[in-house]
Amino acid sequence: MDVAIPCQVKPHPVTGIANGKLAIWLFLASEVMLFGALFSSYILLRTNAETWPRGHDILSVPLATLNTAVLITSSVTMVMAWAQLMMGNFSKGRKYLAVTLSLACVFLVVKFFEYKDKFHHYQVWFNTPTMVAGHEVTTITGHIEEKTDDFIKFLPDPPKGHKAEAGHHEPIKIETSQIKRLSNYGPWHSNFFAVYFTMTGLHGLHVIGGIIVIGYLLGPGAKLWHRDRQFYINRIENTGLYWHFVDLVWIFLFPCLYLI
């Protein structure tokens, strides 16, 4: 019933590419502007802020490095899938696609654990500098053991650098009157986390988008292979372009948030 759309599969005589590829590149151009706006705001907020924590100290770099490796591998398996399909072996291509999909899910799972850890990690600011574990501090970070209206039981993090010593690290009791502010590492904690959650959250949504599309192409979409092989390969290539772009955004996101 559909109207025959020219150069849906056959490349356009002048531009030499099919509709899909031009469309996906235009979509990626708009995505570049979307993430560009976020990066521009990140730079602006960082240059204007008096104090800006180093991502290296607060976020877990090893976990993020694992995520980077996962995403780069999924990018490679995506392009390998395209190569296999171009060479005609459908089953190998589907295997690579499935690996890409599972790697994307692994990325999200790692992300979930990272977020969960942030929401359980608390920071306490004191009204007046108080003695904690031997030295005068105005703020400490750690986990809450127990919380009531008039005091909280707080297990501070081990000092930076060396891991928790052998002796069990005993939680300390802090009166609510002493606490100027108590906040976990959610987006409301400070602008560093606001930027962190917004950018990684939006990137996560794009990963979920990718998972849905790849899932469709593995599942019901695969019938297209038998109907019009080149059309299916084009779709895989365009999805691959989108996926490489999502990986490319993470390649910039990873150093900007975690390392510097």
Partner 1 sequence: MSNHSSTAAKDTHAGHHDAHSPEEIQKHVRTYLVVFVALGALTAITVGVSYLDLPPVKAILVAVFVASIKASLVALYFMHLISEKKVIYVMLGIAGMFFVVLMALPVVTETEVRSWLRALLMKYVP
Partner 2 sequence: MSAGHSHDHGHAHDDHAHGHHELGFIRKWIFSTDHKVIGMQYTVTALVFLFFGFTLMMIMRWQLANPGHVIPFVGSMLSKQLYAGYMNLATEGVLLPEGYNALGAMHGTIMVFLGIVPLAVGGFGNFVMPLQIGAPDMAFPKLNMMSYWVFLPGGLIMLASFFMPGGAAQSGWTSYAPLSVINPGQTAWLVGMIFLITSSLLGSINFIVTIIHMRAPGLTMFRLPFFVWAQFVTAFLLLLAFPPLEAAGVMQLMDRLAGTSFFMPSGLWVSGKAAEWVGGGSPLLWQHLFWFLAHPEVYVLILPAMGIVAEVIANNTRKPLWGYRSMVYAAAFLGFMSFIVWAHHMFMTGMSTKISTFFQTTTMIISIPSVIILTALVISLWGGSIRFNTPMLFAIAFLPMFAIGGLTGLPLGLTSSDIHLHDTYYVIGHFHYVVAPGTIFGMFAGIYYWYPKATGRMMNETLGKLHFWPTFICMNCIFFPMLIQGMMGLSRRTYDPNIYQAGLASLKLHKMISWSAWIMAIAQLPFIFNFFVSMFAGKKVTENPWDSTTLEWAAPSPPPHGNFLTEPKAHRDPYVYSPPGRKDDFLPQHVVLEV
Binding letters toward partner 1, positions 208-227, x by CB under 8 A = --------------------
Secondary structure (3-state) at 187: coil
Q: Which long-range contacts (CB under 8 A, 24 or more apart) does 191-195 make?
A: 191/45, 191/49, 191/52, 192/52, 192/53, 192/55, 192/58, 193/118, 195/38, 195/41, 195/42, 195/45, 195/46, 195/257
Tokens of 103: 């790697």
User: By C-alpha distance, which of 61, 56, 60, 63 is closest to 110?
Assistant: 63
The reply on whether position 80 binds partner 1 by CB under 8 A is: yes
The reply on whether position 247 binds partner 1 by CB under 8 A is: yes
The region of 11-19, 114-122, 177-185, 221-229 touching partner 1 under the rule CB under 8 A is 11-19
Q: Please identify which residue in 66, 198, 215, 248 interacts with partner 2, judged by CB under 8 A.
A: 198
The reply on whether position 49 binds partner 1 by CB under 8 A is: no
For residue 181, what are the CA distances in angstroms to 8, 41, 56, 123, 125?
59, 26, 24, 8, 5
Q: Which does 254 bind (CB under 5 to 8 A by kind): partner 2, partner 1, none?
A: partner 1
Q: Please identify which residue in 186, 228, 252, 260 interacts with partner 2, judged by CB under 8 A.
A: 186
The reply on whether position 189 binds partner 2 by CB under 8 A is: yes
The reply on whether position 8 binds partner 1 by CB under 8 A is: no
Tokens of 131: 């003695």
Q: How many residues bind partner 2 (CB under 8 A)?
A: 42
User: By C-alpha distance, which of 55, 31, 6, 7 is closest to 245?
Assistant: 31
Q: Please identify which residue in 7, 17, 99, 155 interacts with partner 1, judged by CB under 8 A.
A: 17
Residue placing its CB nearer to partner 1 in the complex, 39 or 90:
39
Tokens of 40: 């521009």
Q: For residues 126 and 179, is the Cβ–Cβ distance under 8 A?
A: yes
Which residues in this chain contact partner 1 in the complex, by CB under 8 A?
Answer: 15-17, 21-22, 25-26, 29-30, 32-33, 36-37, 39-41, 43-44, 47-48, 56, 61, 65, 68-69, 72-73, 75-76, 78-80, 83, 86-88, 240-241, 244-245, 247-248, 251-252, 254-256, 258-260
